[in-house]
Structure 1
């Protein structure tokens, strides 16, 4: 994960430690944590103790002087997940869609300038697609994000570009992004391919509330590599129908 420094170094260190513990296959000692994060032992000791007090980190009983993710992280995650009222509505629709197109189906929601995968229905246990619950992507770099962004007022696109890019996108890049959003708005679905989503071709359709505002997107990974226009068209009718069904159930 990217770790840009802020003006609150203690929080920066805490986030880095949590990221390392979350991705580790085993509990880690303080020296291992510091080596993995580049944090000094003295600072690491202070931050880990603070995280312990807040139950964001816990001592692992299976390994002496080792730490793992704490119970409060799971409590927070569970609370956020349970607030996603779309998830139980998504499952039966996704099951039908999975059987129609024989692809894994994902539900993504917008969080700030990014989209997060909050639920999925796998087509088969043999799928080796690197899309998991919690995966986070920039809106303009994912099919789901572009589907959501395309249905927002066009006046908001410019502010998104300003907020998302450290430097304003070049004229050609800006035009390409606007064209892709206009195309998605017109067709009712967006696509992404190898250039912007880890060598996978994805298609997504927006889920709208009663005010016609985008609140989520249903997405499917079609294949590795570039998404061809004919492939997108053949799958789009199934995803558009599924998104309409889910939108109809939103209160």
Structure 2
């Protein structure tokens, strides 16, 4: 007689479950990426407990994945035993064509614009329905602004975001119109009709001007599109100034001229 009877009325052996991962669980790569995205400006270093909580993973699972990420250099251990983003990720990120490659070509022009304006100069690309800041040059005495390099920004509430949305494919614009956006107490989104009208004006003028409060100061951005050799908008550059200290219109010619200069450099780069 089989001594492994399980009381279910059959001597049939049940299938073995290997390890602790569900048969149709979340892929390891997804969980690893979820761990990496837990880090940010507010949390550059995390304990294992905090990392597991932020990623919504069991502590043992978070530890197992974190150890593998450390082995590959994607994470680093601090002297206190906590975790931080590893330099291997920076090394990989530098070869991103829309990141380092574009930045390398644009940087001399951004430096010229920064010297001329003595304000914040930004280089932004679109990823999905958000903008990603890939470079920012700031004068020592420039007013503090919200967005950091690598940070994401709304397309409808920033000057470079509006430029990127205005020159995005029509389907991207429609997807943006119907997407859920965070509640905005300043009503920066407005109506879909008003946004469509604004985007049409940006395509006509080939620049955008947008003002919004940042902390206690009203900041104004002026932005223009950067095109690749196929005449597709791949980025936007912008200058951000305190509205009460500078007439934003004075920066429009310089921003447009620099965007065109970067576009020409992109066309001739091999």
- Report the TM-score, using the length of structure 1 for normalisation: 0.75
Residue 215 of structure 2 is aligned to residue 176 of structure 1: no
Bigger share in helix = 1
C-alpha displacement at 1:214, in angstroms? 0.8
- CA displacement 1:88-142 (0-9 Å, x = unmatched): 3322322332233221211112223322111222222554223321121232332
Change (3 A) 1:73 1:238: same
For the pair shown, the structure with the greater C-alpha radius of gyration is 2
Partner Cα separation in structure 1 for residue 66 and residue 261 of structure 2 = 47
Change (3 A) 1:21 1:134: closer
Partner Cα separation in structure 2 for residue 90 and residue 178 of structure 1 = 29
Change (3 A) 1:202 1:33: same
**Equivalent position of 1:3 in the other structure:** none
Partner Cα separation in structure 2 for residue 155 and residue 67 of structure 1 = 40
Counterpart mapping for 1:1-251 below 5 A = 8=26, 13-23=31-41, 27-35=45-53, 39-60=57-78, 62-63=79-80, 65-80=81-96, 84-124=100-140, 127-152=143-168, 154=170, 157-162=173-178, 164-165=179-180, 173-194=191-212, 200-223=219-242, 231-251=247-267
C-alpha displacement at 1:186, in angstroms? 1.9
Change (3 A) 1:152 1:25: closer
Report how many aligned residue pairs link the two structures. 234
Change (3 A) 1:206 1:55: same
C-alpha displacement at 1:181, in angstroms? 0.5
State the secondary structure of the residue aligned to 2:95. helix
Partner Cα separation in structure 2 for residue 26 and residue 244 of structure 1 = 37
Change (3 A) 1:177 1:9: farther
- CA displacement 1:131-190 (0-9 Å, x = unmatched): 32112123233211211222345565224434x447xxxxx6211210110121122211
- Report the TM-score, using the length of structure 2 for normalisation: 0.70
Partner Cα separation in structure 2 for residue 96 and residue 23 of structure 1 = 28
Mind listing any 5+ residue stretches in structure 1 that lack a counterpart? 1-6, 167-171
Mind listing any 5+ residue stretches in structure 2 that lack a counterpart? 1-24, 182-189
State the secondary structure of the residue aligned to 2:144. coil
State the secondary structure of the residue aligned to 2:163. helix
